[in-house]
Structure 1
Amino acid sequence: MEDARARKFDVVVIYMLSRLTRQGAAEALKIQKELASYGVALVSTQEPFINTSDDNPFGVAFFALIAGLAHQESKNKSKFIRDAFEALKAKGSHSSGPVPYGFEAEAVQVEKFTVRLLKPGETSDAEIGPGSTPADNVMHIIELAESGVKENAISVLMTDKRTKTPLGSLDDDAAKARIEAAQKRRKGGPNDAAKLEWSDKVVRRILRDPRLAGFAIGPVDPKTRNRTILRDEEGQPVRPHEGFIEPKRWYDLQALLDGRKRERNMDRAGTMTFLGSWGILRCGKCKSGMTVSNVSETYVCNLRRSVGDVEKHVLRIAMEDTNKVVAARLWAKAASLDPENDEDVAILAAAAERFAVRGTDPQAAEELAEQEAQLLHVQGSMRELYQDRTDGLYEGTTGRQAFKDTIQKYQRHEAACMARIDELKAAATTATRLPMDEWFADSDDDPLSPGSLWSRWSVEDKRSFLSLFVDEVIVNPNTTRAGTSWDRINGRVEIEWAKPKPAEDDEDNESVTA
């Protein structure tokens, strides 16, 4: 255009109009009008009817027509590409972007589409370090996180072992391109280009990736910046890939990272006690779970500062005597349950359901565990979504529609999970009964006597039996010095007996209708 303004030529020769512009007739005519003002004509070698020289009166009209058609063709091609991409995405194809760390992609024909499906990459027998593969490193990171090691500690361990980062695992050209792109997105620094320097952000991104469990990924959550799970129209997760771990294990890992799941049921010293540190023993003052003081052999709640209306406090109770009191009341209750008493019927129903679920066949138990984990995950996602709306992240017509579409998918998935959980529990309960006769068979009227079933059980077995009949054991403050140690502890211990899980109250849950 600068040369045209300088009148260095009389004619611009183009191969096709689409090589000049695809922005439509208006843009094409704007260019042609400016060229004409400088006395310059347009001629197309492949479209001879496009000729705007003075001796062709129809040239401009043809020019406008072809420009409009070229623009429409461009729009059609763009729509086709978008539609194809959406179709691939709906099938969970890894359609764009680099292959995730530790994975490899394989092209697979699904119906009329060729989709890229992911699977774990090559593994080796090498120790974690410079010689380990990305797939080795991913599994090592997962196992460390599951054992309770935090992201920053994992990054330090991986760096100390000189394990290659996602950047370090690429060839030089790919690594250079990735580094340059990353530095454009954020502030540069020495670690951006480091091939052995792990960060907690990199570790967290790996652990949070739904593709670890084979899920396809949806949009990035604008608040947490975590990748979300792609869901179909019914809200069910799309799972086309081969993951490193099963979905149940991934859901548990997310709960652990969120702080909603304890990674172990042991005390801080690494021991396992009957009541301490697994959530069933609660402080009567603040309702927190009580831990163990092995030095004084007590269960303890030590609230170091006031929280709301609850003042700081230290509440202790002798471990051995508390264990005996709870065990005695547990067995006495189990022996006296009356099928004619409504409260006892509720306890029996809850215990029977819990026992049935534990004793069901492995495949059904695995499905139940996964459905329950999915339910917790989708309910957590729903709470976050409601909070995001409260925070003003879904303003305007488009935002409200996006919120509505997403929450309806979540609600459909929640309903499907709950229905399936009810089916699995009902099937298990129908086929199973509580083995009361077996539990009391060798008790000799004292289920706690030496040689009894209770005395032979491990701590884990005792916990399992307790949790059939008990929801919580509450320890209240000591209010008297009178009586024996047994009497005082018996007076302080309050047991919340098991109750069947109540049905969801629709009025307590916010809903969205079409």
Structure 2
Amino acid sequence: MTTERVTGMAYHAAGYDRQSEARKNQSATSPAVQRRNNRAEAERRARAGEDIVWVGHFSEALGTSAFRVEKERPEFERLLTACRRGQVNMIIVDYVSRFSRLEVMDAIPIVSELLNLGVVIVSTSEGTFRKGNLMDLIHLMMRLDAAHNESKNKSRAVSGAHSMAKRLGGFMGKPPYGFELYPLEVPNPDNPKEIIVIQKLRHARTKLSGPFKTEGDVLRQAANLFEADMGGATQNRRGEGNRAGSLNGICVGFRESKVPTRGQIVGKKTADSEWDPAALKRMLRDPLIAGFDRDPIKNDSGKVTGYRIKRDPVTMRPIELECGPVIPPAQWWKIQPGLDATGRGKGQTRSTEQALLSAMDRLWCECDNVMVGHRKLANPSKSSYHCKRGNKIKPGQHEGTVTINMIGLDDYVTRRVFALITTAEDDPETADIMAEAARRWGVLHEAPEKAGERSELLAERADAVRALEDLYEDRKAGGYSGKIGRRAFLKAEAEASMRMEAAEERLAELDESATPVLPIAEWTAREDGWDGDPIGEGTWWAKASTDDRRELIRLFVDRITVRKSNVIGSAPGKKAIIGPRVDIAWAEPPAEEDEDTQDMAA
């Protein structure tokens, strides 16, 4: 839009419109209606004899609010600039509330500037306001104040209603896929004679077209396909790179089978929506489908990035929905690691065979940098592990690189592990190592729902510890002074401590419920004709997959440290020097906290 500077006595009129949120109905405050009313007002004045030149519309993007100072209104700023440049001297709005909902004292400078510039403010519903008439200015300020108070009161009323509904167990927001809302009358706890209607969650009952009767059936099929794909039971779709059980593959199958999305069922604007891998992933990640209530996790901008399961503050057990789960909780927990491994639209990752010791936080160089595997397919005997250190060398570190023969190191570490296993009964010093290996075995092989709950509880405990640490740091910095501050500190400390202790108690319950027994007999079994080599032909190790072998190493080993060799090269035909260069740190239980919460508070 280009505008010329105002000359003579003509009014150069511009319309301004905005709407802070989309309306489902075609209300009189919609931007289209506002623009029509604004233009009609300019034309009416022109017909009445006023010299009017229509400059055009200044229309904010849908969702722009005039209530908050910090919210940007680019079109309003552009309109102000046009007024300051003398290109606009009449602003037409549908209602004054479209113009501003700031506090009166915040709005006065803007309004005063406009009126002093000779700009006439016209409300198609509330009158005309111009410079030189004090009553007009007071009238306008009263309108702005009324608009601001109306917005604040509406916000408070909505917030209060939401808080009450949530307090009474109502569901806030739109129901997710697989669910619907129904009204329920409950007594107001603050006034038992008053009845309040809240919205409760239940499984969606809408009948679908296509192969599935309900949205719940769709979710169950998606979960079943994804779970099967995690186990390698699904194949690539013909002519495509997507496996039938990958997120992409499931979405393609739903589209081909004409399975309707929620948008296709309920929305005009979303009637052409399609199944999308990212949306399906969100559905399968939602704890609600497992029957668990949840709270949203938001980033700094307020966008929901995930959900946290609600837990009883005393027992730390998940709070369950009254309507129950859509898919079995055990299945939901089982598919979460697979969903974690997927990107937007990418299927379950399937890596090629890894080296035995790399990429599992066990193999380290003497300089405290991780070592990585380098396979030579043409000559496997030359495969090696090497230090991943960059070009920067810290004082006291080795020069050059550190490498060690892969086959030699794999063989050395494996034989040390089996020597430990086979002599454990006769060596009391290995009891602690075996106990920790058994604990790890139990964690690895516990039921998916317990494994998932354990991860949640560990995160909850870590969050509570961080909250306590922040609390004590704030207190050391001078916060929480005085009687009121002391009470606030004690309350916050008690809440965080209760969360931490409850999580620890529940973790202890999970540990006690598991009775892990290491399958030593399976690992040490021998076939007929065995030649005595603990990892040779006829042994479990010889037949085990790389994943099973890596799991065994993780059970018994915490760290393998490799030192730089003092020998340059090696004589042809001689084995690489391994043992003198390698230190193995055996499995130890997780370190206990050195300080309890009382020490932290000191």
Equivalent in the alignment of 2:325: 242
Structure-1 separation of matches of 2:273 and 2:526 = 64
2:466 is aligned with 1:347: no
The structural deviation recorded for 1:100 is 0.8
State the percentage of identical aligned residues.
Answer: 17
Q: Is the 8 A contact 1:120 1:242 kept in 2?
A: no
Q: Is the 8 A contact 2:366 2:561 kept in 1?
A: yes
| Gap change, CA 1:175 and 1:122, over 3 Å in 2 | closer
Structure-1 separation of matches of 2:222 and 2:539 = 48
The structural deviation recorded for 1:387 is 9.2
| Gap change, CA 1:461 and 1:319, over 3 Å in 2 | same
| Gap change, CA 1:400 and 1:293, over 3 Å in 2 | farther
Equivalent in the alignment of 2:415: 328
Q: Is the 8 A contact 1:231 1:409 kept in 2?
A: no
Tell me which protein shows more helix as a share of its residues: 1
SS at match of 2:421: helix
Counterpart selection for 1:317 from 393, 400, 404: 404
| Gap change, CA 1:146 and 1:211, over 3 Å in 2 | farther
Structure-2 separation of matches of 1:512 and 1:257 = 42
The 5 Å alignment of 1:14-53 reads: none
Equivalent in the alignment of 1:423: 512
Equivalent in the alignment of 1:221: 298
The structural deviation recorded for 1:238 is 1.5
Equivalent in the alignment of 1:490: 579
1:139-198 alpha-carbon deviations (Å, 9 max, x no partner):
778999999x9xxx97899699969999963257x435xx6xxxxxxxxxxxx9973495
2:353 is aligned with 1:271: yes
The structural deviation recorded for 1:76 is 13
SS at match of 1:407: helix
Aligned-residue CA RMSD in angstroms? 5.7
2:241 is aligned with 1:169: no
| Gap change, CA 1:383 and 1:142, over 3 Å in 2 | farther
Structure-2 separation of matches of 1:107 and 1:320 = 65
The structural deviation recorded for 1:495 is 1.9
| Gap change, CA 1:78 and 1:340, over 3 Å in 2 | closer
2:372 is aligned with 1:290: yes
SS at match of 1:170: helix
Higher relative contact order (CA 8 A, sep 6+): 1
1:253-293 alpha-carbon deviations (Å, 9 max, x no partner):
676579xxxx87x7x5x124433434443444344363443
The one-letter amino acid of 1:96's match is M
Structure-2 separation of matches of 1:401 and 1:419 = 26
What is the count of residue pairs matched by the alignment? Answer: 391
| Gap change, CA 1:123 and 1:308, over 3 Å in 2 | farther
2:565 is aligned with 1:478: yes
The one-letter amino acid of 2:451's match is A
Q: State which drifts further: 312-321 or 380-389.
A: 380-389
The 5 Å alignment of 1:460-471 reads: 460-471=547-558
1:6-44 alpha-carbon deviations (Å, 9 max, x no partner):
xxxxxxxxxxxxxxxxxxxxxxxxxxxxxxxxxxxxxxx
| Gap change, CA 1:96 and 1:135, over 3 Å in 2 | farther
The 5 Å alignment of 1:434-445 reads: 435=520, 439=524, 445=532
The one-letter amino acid of 1:288's match is V
The one-letter amino acid of 2:435's match is A
Q: Gapped runs of 5+ residues in structure 1?
A: 1-74, 90-94, 180-191
Q: Is the 8 A contact 1:251 1:374 kept in 2?
A: no
Q: Is the 8 A contact 1:165 1:198 kept in 2?
A: no
Counterpart selection for 2:167 from 86, 95, 110: 86
| Gap change, CA 1:248 and 1:476, over 3 Å in 2 | farther
The structural deviation recorded for 1:80 is 9.1
The 5 Å alignment of 1:32-181 reads: 82-83=163-164, 85-89=166-170, 95-101=171-177, 103-105=178-180, 115-118=200-203, 169-171=262-264, 174-176=266-268
Structure-2 separation of matches of 1:142 and 1:441 = 34
Equivalent in the alignment of 2:6: none
Structure-2 separation of matches of 1:164 and 1:509 = 61
| Gap change, CA 1:352 and 1:408, over 3 Å in 2 | closer
Structure-1 separation of matches of 2:169 and 2:584 = 55
Structure-1 separation of matches of 2:158 and 2:174 = 25
Equivalent in the alignment of 1:53: none
Equivalent in the alignment of 1:454: 541
SS at match of 2:575: helix
Equivalent in the alignment of 1:49: none
The one-letter amino acid of 1:104's match is F
Structure-1 separation of matches of 2:281 and 2:294 = 16
The one-letter amino acid of 1:423's match is E
| Gap change, CA 1:196 and 1:414, over 3 Å in 2 | same
1:40-96 alpha-carbon deviations (Å, 9 max, x no partner):
xxxxxxxxxxxxxxxxxxxxxxxxxxxxxxxxxxx999989854541315xxxxx23
The one-letter amino acid of 1:195's match is S
The one-letter amino acid of 2:588's match is K
| Gap change, CA 1:504 and 1:254, over 3 Å in 2 | farther
| Gap change, CA 1:354 and 1:338, over 3 Å in 2 | same
What is the TM-score normalised by the length of structure 1?
0.56
1:423-469 alpha-carbon deviations (Å, 9 max, x no partner):
134xx15xx47646982666664313433343343434433433332
SS at match of 2:558: strand
Structure-1 separation of matches of 2:183 and 2:372 = 53
SS at match of 2:413: helix
The structural deviation recorded for 1:106 is 7.1
| Gap change, CA 1:286 and 1:464, over 3 Å in 2 | same
Counterpart selection for 1:209 from 271, 286, 292: 286
| Gap change, CA 1:332 and 1:141, over 3 Å in 2 | closer
Equivalent in the alignment of 2:121: none
SS at match of 1:488: coil
What is the TM-score normalised by the length of structure 2?
0.49
SS at match of 2:459: helix
Structure-2 separation of matches of 1:384 and 1:118 = 37
SS at match of 2:333: helix
